[in-house]
Amino acid sequence: MTTALPSSPDVTAARRYVLTFVCADGPGIVHAITGAIVSVGGNIVESRQFESGETHRFYMRVEVVTTASAEEIRSALADPVERFAIEATVDEVGRPVRTLVLTSKSTHCLNDLLYQTSIGNLSIEVPLVLANHDTPSRFAEFHGVPFEHRPVTSAEEKAAFENRVREAIVEHDIELVVLARYMQILSPELCAELAGRCINIHHSFLPGFKGANPYRQAYARGVKQIGATAHFVTDDLDEGPIIEQEVIRVDHTRSPQELMAIGQDTEVRTLREAVGLFAQQRVLLDGTRTIVFR
């Protein structure tokens, strides 16, 4: 007697889901996961996996087409999730991730995020832009996104700003916070609360330049590379797990203004890529670094 395998999903009724899995590495994990997917008639259309040698952690991202619901998939995965102590997620591919954007005076990153979202290039939804300067208001207004300006000129105002961030996260069901050139250091408490779901962007120079006018400092030292780094925020300033980086070659002919223009364009692309990867659930944390399934 033969047992019929589940039929291929009806493409007219099927949905595409993204599944992620993180656990201690060991034999049988992939077999158990794929078996659960088959049991609900799922067809795997994309799959990536990785075992981190130093931490001995297993990472997997799978895209599945099936007529089953997300709850049915979770139910089918319940046994392997319990057996292997897996941190698992199930979501629909392309579902916009609800995103809170924080910014200051510089508007290049904010404007790009809102534009890319408006034309469908980023799977995020921005219900609010919160800034400590009013300069970015016109960009939020142009894209039809609510904007709030709250000054941060004292410790009391900083605490109030961060409390408003907490309120907005609850109020708007926020899944991701993006610091689009928000030029304030978040408190250790807020960093801990946003661990793994807050992305920052900053310039990257060799050597590094801190403080005011980094591009003027870079010009004075004759830098040959300008870059940008997008990373998860931690209470160790600019040292969080890196998601994306880009480097551009420059030379002595570039003025400070040209270096700034090149740097800002690099920041825009790097932040956009990092946010897009996060929204597609292609970024998984491995301690102080990330696993990025492109």
118 plus 84 within the same structural domain: no
Active-site option among 25, 91, 235, 238: 238
Q: What CATH number is given to the structural domain containing 273?
A: 3.40.50.170
Please state the rounded mean pLDDT for residues 112-119: 98
Q: What CATH number is given to the structural domain containing 47?
A: 3.30.70.260
Whether 238 is catalytic is yes
Instruction: Please count the structural domains in the chain.
Output: 2
131 plus 66 within the same structural domain: no
Q: Which of 92, 127, 161 is the last residue of a domain?
A: 92
Condensed to tens digits (0 to 9), the pLDDT of residues 139-170 reads 999 999 999 999 999 999 999 999 999 999 99
69 plus 201 within the same structural domain: no
163 plus 239 within the same structural domain: yes
**CA–CA gap between residue 153 and residue 237 (Å, rounded):** 20
Question: Is residue 45 a part of any domain in this protein?
Answer: yes
* Burial class (CB within 10 angstroms; exposed 0-12, middle 13-18, buried 19+) of 47: middle
Q: Which of 33, 60, 92 is the last residue of a domain?
A: 92
Percent of the chain with pLDDT over 90: 85
pTM of the shown model: 0.92
Q: Which of 75, 92, 109 is the last residue of a domain?
A: 92
Question: Is residue 23 a part of any domain in this protein?
Answer: yes
62 plus 115 within the same structural domain: no
87 plus 102 within the same structural domain: no
252 plus 202 within the same structural domain: yes
Condensed to tens digits (0 to 9), the pLDDT of residues 173-195 reads 999 999 999 999 999 999 999 99
Condensed to tens digits (0 to 9), the pLDDT of residues 67-76 reads 999 999 999 9
Domain that holds residue 70: 15-92
**CA–CA gap between residue 157 and residue 164 (Å, rounded):** 10
Question: Is residue 4 a part of any domain in this protein?
Answer: no
Please state the rounded mean pLDDT for residues 271-282: 98
